Structure 1
Amino acid sequence: MNPVLDLVAIALVVIATVLIGVYGLRASRTTSDFFVASRTVRPVWNASAISGEYLSAGTFLGLSGLVLLGGARGFWFPIGYAAGYLLVLVFVASPLRRSGAYTIPDFVEARLESTLARRVTSVVVLVIGWLYIVPQLHGAGITLQVVAGLPPWIGAVLVAVLVGGAVAAGGMRAITFVQAFQYWLKLTALLVPVVVIGFAVGGGPHPVDTAAVFPPAAGPAGVDVYETASLLLALLLGTMGLPHVLVRFYTSPDGVSARRTTVLVIAMVSAFYAVSSGMGLLARMLAPDLARPETADTVVLLLPARVFPGALGELLTALIVAGAFAAFLATSAGLVVSLAGVVSQDVFSGSVRSFRLSAALCALVPLVVALATVPAGLVSSVGTVFVFAASSLSPLLLLGVWWRGLTARGAVAGVVTGAVSCGLALIVHAAVGGVGIAAPYLAQPAAWTIPLAATVTVVVSRRDRHGPPARADRYLLRLHSPERSI
């Protein structure tokens, strides 16, 4: 590796991020610009931005490492990540845009006419967002440590400061430009090395052992049915519970535009997952010695130099490093801008000034957590967030959009039940590593925590003497009415 070249690549990404952010800042003037980019983001641009923020450290670094470790089992994650947008497309994309809300708590309060439901939702949104930012900061620290030998805290601080400053300066409109650019940079940063390495493998003396790439034990015959089904359920429903994903649909001009955006996102993220998984398959052939939990997340950074020891390998590594930092910045920025909107409206005055203060706070909290914790596997860390989001928010959103009988008490009971049951299961599993036959149900709790949360929501709503809000029918008509600008 060439640390100087890698640091130059990072510097160029940082400079490009700042310059594009400054361009977006010039267009950010109103409160609506800061919260939802004045609802003027067209499908291609919005899809690029959503893909940019959705493809996180867990995808850019961790997915290849997961395929390296688990072979065919690793493909369940990209399948779930991409297919989750199908559910978003079918169930919530257009209705959420038609709601006219700025944030998920805005939607919940308008739908249920309850301040308590809004506050509970806000707390859960903040927990999900902060848990998701921490792996991005860990990934930045790992990258700088591998390529330049720098202490991990430097990468975490660098990303947190850049993201907090960019979001505070320009809000959603500025971040949209940045994230769209970073998606195409990330795709290029992995696609070029995969193609080059693939050609080298195809024309070089590299024997391909199919049993090593796709071992039978890691294929369908070796899959645990419960754990796989629970994981897929979490990934599918968790996508619609991610605050930084949903808030972007509020930036679309109308519901039709939101649906078109979602279709484009499915194509864009699927293309990236194919490339990232391909890098993992190449690593299984060329770097099987890195198939260890402590080194798997670094395989993307180390593989080019293994195949091309020299200038070409250094250039490819620098390109990957640039893409990795784009992943950390894009996802963190999307999370911070969505969380800043929640904090600004629920804690402060909802003004541009309070939005900027909230952005700084929302970047600082996960930075403190990242500096105080040890990095775990990036994919598993991100997967935990999906499980929590699916258990706590997805039943609320689905029922809020499609069921008239939902009440505020039912919503609060369901969100709390899903969040607490999922949180306890994951904490117990992390503390004791499983409890006999209950181990898989604690490691992958989505298959029972999501139905539990949904059941509690329905039962409590049915038994609520106050019933649904008086204006529920009118609000649902707005969500599902034929397309028009709102």
Structure 2
Amino acid sequence: MNSVQAIAAITLVSVATALFSVYGLRPGKATSDFYVASRAVSPFRNASAIGGEYLSAASFLGIAGLVLTYGADMLWFGVGYTAGYLVLLAFVAAPLRRSGAYTVPDFAEARLESLRVRRLSALLVVLTGWLYLLPQLQGAGLTLRTVTSAPLWVGPVIVTTVVMITVVSGGMRSVTFVQAFQYWLKLTALAVPVIFLLLAWRADGAPWPSADAPPQFRETTTVSVQQAVRVEVNEPVTVTVRGSLDGRNLDDATVRLGTGDHRIGEGAEVDFPAGSDVPHTQGQEPLEGSDWTQPLSATSHPVYRTYSLLLATLLGTMGLPHVIVRFYTNPDGAAARRTTWVVLWLLGAFYVLPPVYGALGRLYTPELLMTGRTDAAVLLLPTQLVGGTVGALLGTLITAGAFAAFLSTASGLTVSVAGVLGQELEHIRAHIRAALIRRGKLVAGPRWGRAKRKPREEGRNEVLRLRLAGVIAASVPCMLSLAVVHRPAADVVVLAFAVAASSFSPLLLLGIWWRGLTPQGAAAGLLVGGGAAIGAVVLTIVGPPLDGWPGAVLSRPAAWSVPLAFAAMIGTSLFTRRSIPPGTARMLVRLHAPESLVLPRKDPATGERERTTKPPHK
């Protein structure tokens, strides 16, 4: 695939996204439109939108890259990502919708009547959202670098710009249309090429990785190193090098790479003979075919890593801010359940496909194990395996789908983070104003000596503030993505799941199902569980690579951080049981009783009661 086709695909997806944003702009003028699309999204459209934002770079590119590297163990990613919605369906979806809140901090304040818990929840929402955004933006940079040789910073800048337009134009209403469209684009972008890839694989004799040898080059292969890399060579091999090797600049020089470490500079090209072993990036041992095809054998301490991964994905799904806000857009609790049921089918259909790309990448793009850019396997397979005009067209389709993955997930995360930031900015402004009034530096009443603003004008001002928050929510992770070292997308996303599972999962489950939760208990659980998970994330991303138990415990923290969060939340609540909020019983009735039996809750922004599909019981 040439650069022109790749640019055309990316441009087409970006223009389509902008058009859907404009379509959502016309009615998107009220606060409820910006936050929750006026709570009028049908279950099928909402499910498609959830699939669009949930199937991120980790799903579209990352799972295939991990399967290429580690094999059968990585199938747990797709299982956990999908099964998490079963937990969401059984315990959270309908009660959360009945709460009438806009965001997780809204729910925390309504349930626990505590401003402190609200602010702590808001901080964790922002941190989790930004952590989840990092791999989306870095994946965009990798995609553009792979298909057009553009600098790595171009992808994050383009995605951030388009996301700002989408979010600022119409908020959740615009994002819903965009994401529903992008789910079906992503599914098509993987499903259609995989048919041609399997046909080409069969025509090639249906080869399979050797059971007793590490990955090998099946034919003479030129490896282009886009970023400097340090590799380990287990078997000496004679290669031809153009560029920097171990500090020497070579020009078509024949060199014998001995056993041990070697550093290959950025932009270098290395020709490997057919049948030679693929060097692997430092710290990543290559798996032989027998280990690659069997579960619980790919990494150190595989049992711990597997169960920690499953715990993070099963419980983390319900705590992801861009997933939770989707259930507030349903008309009622029954629609929220139907939405979750449809999501399970849509995700199941999608996750069948990435492992196929990973297995084929093991055979036809093994050089990615050397460069460390295994996420690019999905992008390169059509030209490597099919070739010709058909391969170029299939590659263009996959590029469009990959860019849709970045845009849809980034849009959902940005609008959810923007909603929280916008609300907290307003709370801070209100508290500052109240403090000035108490100190006599500001006169209470009409603001700044002007006539009191009309509700319509107040709504416009709030939407303006939310749009400003959207710009901030998108800009910060864009800058972070350019400064943080690139890691496999699925690995970083699992860390975000672990943070959500260690903070919001206990808050939601206990807040919905346990009367004894107190504000002090909730704050303790969020600080202990969320803080421990965030600490592990920081050490994993910015710290040196760790082996053995330290590496396993820090890279997969959910197995210990989630129980720690529940223990802190329950234990502290039991010690502070006298602090149970007085409105707990009333709130629990709202969460669990059918909508027809409960008076609709007032909209936090407008003061008006929500519209429901059924009239309240009289």
TM over 0.5: yes
Provide the rounded CA distance (Å) in 2 between the counterparts of 1:436 and 1:284. 26
- Range with greater deviation from structure 2 (252-261 or 347-356): 347-356
CA distance in 2, matches of 1:292, 1:339: 37
Name the counterpart of 2:411: 333
Q: 1:147 to 1:176 in 2, by over 3 A?
A: same
Moved more, 338-347 or 120-129: 338-347
Asked whether the 8 Å contact 2:21–2:170 carries over to 1, the reply is: yes
Give the alignment partner of residue 256 of structure 1, picking from 321, 331, 334. 334
Q: Which has the higher strand share?
A: 2
Q: CA deviation at 1:444?
A: 1.6
CA contact 1:36–1:173 (8 Å) conserved in 2: yes
Letter in 2 for 1:460: T
Percent identity (aligned): 51
Per the alignment, do residues 138 and 436 of structure 1 end up closer, same or farther by CA in structure 2, a change over 3 Å counting?
closer
Equivalence for 1:442: 554
Alignment of 1:47-196 (within 5 A): 47-196=47-196
Question: Deviation of residue 26 (structure 1)?
Answer: 1.3
Instruction: Assess, with a 3 A threshold, how the Cα gap between structure 1 residues 429 and 374 changes in structure 2: closer, same or farther.
Output: closer
Q: Secondary structure at the match of 2:12?
A: helix
| Range with bigger deviation, 208-217 or 262-271 | 208-217
- Specify the alignment match of 1:472 in structure 2: 584
Compared with structure 1, are the counterparts of its residues 259 and 173 closer, same or farther at alpha carbon in structure 2 (3 Å cutoff)? Answer: same
Q: CA deviation at 1:293?
A: 6.2
Cα separation, partners in 2 of 1:96 and 1:201, compared to 1, 3 Å: same
Distance in 2 between residues matched to 1:207 and 1:126, nearest whole Å: 46
- Give the number of the structure with larger relative contact order, counting CA–CA contacts within 8 Å between residues 6 or more apart: 1
Cα separation, 1, equivalents of 2:548 and 2:340? 42
Higher mean displacement: 383-392 or 100-109: 383-392
Counting helix residues as a fraction of each chain, which structure ranks higher? 1
Matches within 5 A, 1:72-471: 72-209=72-209, 211=211, 215-218=289-292, 219-220=294-295, 222=297, 224-292=302-370, 294-348=372-426, 351-429=462-540, 431-434=543-546, 437-464=549-576, 466-471=578-583
Residues 465, 228 of structure 1: alpha-carbon distance in 2 compared, 3 angstrom cutoff: closer
After superposing the two structures, state which structure 1 stretch, 94-103 or 191-200, moved more.
191-200
What SS is found at the alignment partner of 1:220? coil
Q: Which residue of 2 aligns with 1:8?
A: 8
**Which segments of 5 or more consecutive residues in structure 2 lack a partner in the other structure?**
216-286, 428-458, 597-611, 614-618
Aligned partners of 1:471, 1:233: CA distance in 2, in Å? 32
Q: Report the equivalent of 2:30.
A: 30
Q: Distance in 2 between matches of 1:184 and 1:264?
A: 14
State the alpha-carbon separation in 2 of the partners of residues 282 and 27 from structure 1.
46
Q: Deviations over 1:178-224 (max 9, x none)?
A: 00000000110111111111122223434334748994324135262
User: Which amino acid counterpart does residue 106 of structure 1 have in structure 2?
Assistant: D
Aligned partner of residue 92 in structure 2, secondary structure: helix
3-state SS in 1 of match to 2:477: helix
Which structure has the greater CA radius of gyration?
Answer: 2
| Displacement of 1:152 | 1.2
CA displacement at 1:164 relative to structure 2: 1.2
| Kept in 2: contact 1:428–1:434 (CA 8 A) | no
TM-score normalised over the length of structure 2: 0.76
Q: Distance in 2 between matches of 1:436 and 1:252?
A: 46
Letter in 2 for 1:130: W
Change (3 A) 1:134 1:311: same
Structure 1 portions without partners, runs of 5+: none
The C-alpha deviation readout for 1:110-157, integer Å capped at 9, x for no partner, is 000000000000000000001111111111111111111111111111
Alpha carbons 2:196, 2:386 under 8 Å: kept: no
Are the counterparts in 2 of residues 194 and 279 from structure 1 also a CA contact under 8 Å?
yes
Give, in whole Å, the separation in 1 of the partners of 2:331 and 2:163: 26
CA distance in 1, matches of 2:178, 2:125: 23
The aligned amino acid for 2:563 is P
Contact 2:365 2:380 in 1 (8 A): no
- SS of equivalent residue, structure 1 residue 102: coil
1:74 to partner: Cα distance: 1.2
- RMSD of aligned C-alpha atoms? 1.8
8 Å Cα contact 1:405-1:467 kept in structure 2:
no
C-alpha distance 314-439 of structure 1, shift in aligned 2 (>3 A): closer
CA contact (8 A) 2:516 2:577 kept: no
Structure 1 position 467, deviation (Å): 2.4
1:483/1:319 CA distance change after superposition, 3 Å: same
- TM-score for the superposition, normalised by structure 1: 0.96
CA contact (8 A) 2:28 2:171 kept: yes
Residue 319 of structure 1 aligns with an amino acid whose one-letter code is L
**Contact 1:64-1:278 at 8 Å conserved across structures:** yes
**Contact in 2 for aligned 1:89/1:259 (Cα 8 Å):** yes
Rounded to whole Å, the distance in 1 between the matches of 2:29 and 2:529 is 39
Structure 1 residue 434 displacement after superposition: 3.9
Q: Report the AA paired with residue 347 of structure 1.
A: L
Does structure 2 retain, via aligned residues, the 8 Å contact 1:65–1:291? no
- 2-side partners of 1:271 and 1:367: how far apart? 31
- 1:42 and 1:255 mapped to 2: Cα distance? 12
- How far does the alpha carbon of each residue in 1:219-276 deviate from its partner, in whole angstroms, 9 at most, with x for none? 1352621111111101111111100000000000110100110011111111111112
Could you tell which deviates more after superposition, 126-135 or 194-203?
A: 194-203
Tell me if the contact between 1:52 and 1:330 (Cα under 8 Å) persists in the aligned partners.
yes
Residue by residue over 1:355-376, the C-alpha shift from the partner in whole angstroms, topping out at 9 and shown as x without a partner, is 1111011011111111222211
Aligned residue pairs total 486
* Residue identity matched to 2:88: V
Supply the distance in 1 between the matched residues of 2:79 and 2:38 (Cα, whole angstroms): 33
Look up the equivalent residue of 1:42 and give its one-letter code: S
Measured in 2, the distance between the counterparts of 1:336 and 1:358 equals 9
Q: Aligned AA for 1:190?
A: L
